[in-house]
A and B are shown apart, each in its own frame.
Chain A
Amino acid sequence: SQQGEEDPQALSIQEGENATMNCSYKTSINNLQWYRQNSGRGLVHLILIRSNEREKHSGRLRVTLDTSKKSSSLLITASRAADTASYFCATSERGSGNTGKLIFGQGTTLQVKP
């Protein structure tokens, strides 16, 4: 079952602006990951944040994790037209028998206008 809920479902911004996407989940997790998908094909891994981490940076990406609220956010700063894509959060659930399978959200479609 899909446990991730992402908002907004769609986001349109001008190049140079910041884009913020949010993800909520329901169960206890080992980690949360963000992926990007272009043109409905393969996913590209962006960043992984562990359950004991609160914030992580990678280039223009900033991810936060609030386990008390079971939520995460992805911030893309100084956006570029090339950032146009769908962004998905995915959680790896904690618990016995955890296989590391990922539970994906429905995704946020980001459009960056030049």
Chain B
Amino acid sequence: DAGVTQSPTHLIKTRGQQVTLRCSPKSGHDTVSWYQQALGQGPQFIFQYYEEEERQRGNFPDRFSGHQFPNYSSELNVNALLLGDSALYLCASSHLRRGLYNEQFFGPGTRLTVL
């Protein structure tokens, strides 16, 4: 059983460019969350998708947007890249069971470097 997969593993962009990161959830999972982990910091919640809709969002500007597809995979898009967007972007998936605990499983992350 493949766990959470993310692509690409690394990428380098320049300021002002746009980037798309991809995530495939663990088999049987329907909820995807994205986190940004800057160097030396803990992960910060960006947003969460369920049933192809953004359900919750953290304190990130509108330059950060996402999408969830019918197969539950997800994309994170960042427009007008800034140097400060350089970070490890983590995807986590879970299976929503209302009223019960839903464990999140993390992928290996995508390392984004903005020059």
- B and A form one assembly: no
